[in-house]
Structures are given as C-alpha cells and as structure tokens.
Amino acid sequence: MAGWNERVTDLSIASTMTFDDVACAFPASLQEALELMADEKTRGRLLAGGTDLMVQWESGVLAMPERAVSVKALPELRTIEETEADVIIGASVTHMDIRRSPLTQKHVPSLVDAAATIGGFQIQTMGTIGGSVANASPAGDLAPSLMITDGAVVLASVRGEREVPITAFWTGYRKTDMQPDELIVRFRLPKMPEGYREAWRKLGPRQAQAISKVMGSCRGCVEGGVVKSFRVAIGSVAPTCVRLYDVEKWIEGKKLNEGTLAEAEKRTSDSITPIADIRSTAEYRKWVTGRIVRGFLEQFADQ
C-alpha cells in the first residue's frame, strides 16, 4: 500500500490514509477524483458514506479492496438544485438531505418518503444517493422512486460526461452501466407535473430499519375518474428494480372502478416472477405487489 500512497502524494492529487489493509485517497476536487480513477495504478473502489460497502467488506460479501477513493466530501457532488424542468441531485447528497430539501419535497415527494425509510438516523445522515444507486441492490429503497421520474444518471470520467436513463442503469443483479474509470456525479430528475401525485409503499419484516420484502413507487394523474398517466416501479421482485410498462400501458385511459382495480391487481401479480428468499416467498411477493399497485390506484381515485 505504501507505494500507492507515495505515488498519489507525488502527483499532488489527493491526501491519503491507510486503514487496515486499504489505502484510501481523499481527492480535494472532482477533477482530482477523475484523474485518480483514470489511471489503473491509482484507481480505487469509490467510497461515499460507506453504509453499504463497509458492511459488505466486514461480512465478506465483497472482498476488501486494496485501494479506495473517497468522494463523500467533494463539494461538486453535495448540492440539490433545480432547473425549469428538473431537480438536480448530487451523488453525495445524503438521504437526510433529500428528506429535508424543499425542492425534493415539492417535486419528487416519493423519493423523500423512500429516503425516510432507509435505516436509522445515523444511516440516513451518512448514506448517499449515489452510493445507494451504485450498490445496485434489487432491494435498494430509492430505486423505484427514481425510476418513475424517467430521469437520468450522469456519469463522469476524464473523457467527459454522459447520461444514462435510470431505467437502463441497472443491468443485472449488482451490475450497472458504469465503466471502471467513471463515477456518478448527479441525478437529473424531471419534476412531478402540475396536477400529478406520487406515492410510496414499503413492506418489511418490521416497522423500522428493515430490508424490503417488496416496495414500490408511482407517479400519475387521474382526471374525472379516468387514468390520464400512470408510472409504477417495484423493487425486491427481480434482479433489478423494474418498471411495470405493460400495466402502465393497459391502465392509462381506463375508468377507475372495481373492475379496473381488480384487473390491474391481477395483471400486476402476473407480470412479475420473483424468487423466494429468507425475507419472503415468491407467492407472497406476487400477491402483495398486486395489492400495492391497486392501493396506489385507489389513492389516485380519491383526487
């Protein structure tokens, strides 16, 4: 590890420290972080709040890396801003930041509700949106609320920036469309349109600090009892979070009545093929996913 620390110091890229067997660099700017990641000799595992990675390293789920690059304190990644159409959230914004921001509360309320269910106060204060998304867990609580916005993940390297639709960012179980030299810098989330609503629901084995059995988010609008628009995403039912496009397409333009609600519930349950694991059976996940989507539509019917 000493050789890597010496090389970084010589380049004046970042301060470093070694903890246990991991050499960790602390770049002072985004550009310095990108330069570290560009070189295979100085590239390290990206580390923000560490609330997922530290546990995985300690438990042996992931091998301890030789090097890590901390991006938690980079000022370029810590802002929440808005444009006319979008909310822009930096990758190192914490779950608590999301909860407290007037911009997220107004324009992406489902994301605020999801952030409030992640762990306890300490986890919400340390954990970041970028770290949660990069972790690529199918039980990641923020994923459904991000998916329903049709927003984008903005990735950066020394080669420049590129946008990846959130719906395409997770490519498989614990896999993402991110190159080894890239890092997540921000999220561009279209604002909830006027007259629309969002909703969030999570089912876990207990009321607090629980890994989800099933969770979901929706964004939509009902006018005169007819579904004008409806987007819904579900987590913990597949290798990645999933948008239920077939259900969305079927329900739009339908009058909300008992027959429509029952059919939407059935189509939702039939559209997923979850696995059974220590937290739940596949049959339960299919049933409860249908109930969640029906519940969303019932809420919208009250508009």
Q: How confident is the model at residue 65 (pLDDT cuts 50, 70, 90)?
A: confident
pLDDT score for 20: 61
> Looking at domain 2-70, does it have CATH number 2.60.120.680?
no
pLDDT score for 210: 54
Q: How far apart are CA 111 and CA 107, in angstroms?
A: 9
Q: Which of 12-26, 166-180, 237-251, 253-267 has the lowest mean pLDDT?
A: 12-26
pLDDT score for 12: 40
For the chain, the maximum distance between any two Cα atoms, rounded to a whole number of angstroms, is 70
Q: How far apart are CA 250 and CA 244, in angstroms?
A: 10
* Cα of 272 vs its chain's centroid, Å: 20
Q: How far apart are CA 144 and CA 28, in angstroms?
A: 33
Interval 200-213 mean pLDDT: 68
Name the fold adopted by 75-190.
3.30.465
**Average pLDDT score, the chain:** 88
Q: How far apart are CA 191 and CA 84, in angstroms?
A: 9
For residue 249, give Cα distances in angstroms to 71, 125, 139.
40, 38, 25
Residue 215 has pLDDT above 50, yes or no: yes
Residue 256 has pLDDT above 60, yes or no: yes
Residue 179 has pLDDT above 50, yes or no: yes
In the chain, CATH 3.30.43.10 covers 2-70
> pLDDT tens-digit profile of 119-177?
888 889 889 999 999 999 888 999 999 999 999 999 999 999 999 999 999 999 999 99
pLDDT score for 278: 63
Instruction: Choose among 296, 298, 275: nearest CA to 286.
Output: 275
Helix 258-271 × helix 282-301 angle, to 10°: 150
pTM of the model: 0.88
**What are φ and ψ of residue 44, in 5° steps?**
-140, 175
Number of H helices and number of E strands within the chain?
13, 15
**What does the radius of gyration of the chain's CA atoms come to, in whole angstroms?**
20
For 220, residues 6+ apart whose C-beta sits below 8 A from its C-beta are: 196, 197, 227, 228, 229, 230, 231, 232, 296, 300
Instruction: Choose among 241, 234, 243: nearest CA to 214.
Output: 234
Name the helix (H) or strand (E) containing 247.
helix 245-251
Name the fold adopted by 197-301.
Enolase-like; domain 1 (3.30.390)
pLDDT score for 14: 52
Q: How confident is the model at residue 223 (pLDDT cuts 50, 70, 90)?
A: very high
Residue 92 has pLDDT above 90, yes or no: yes
Q: How far apart are CA 192 and CA 106, in angstroms?
A: 8
pLDDT score for 207: 52
In the chain, CATH 3.30.465.10 covers 75-190
pLDDT score for 49: 79
> pLDDT tens-digit profile of 70-86?
998 899 999 999 999 99
In the chain, CATH 3.30.390.50 covers 197-301
Q: How far apart are CA 84 and CA 162, in angstroms?
A: 21
pLDDT score for 89: 98
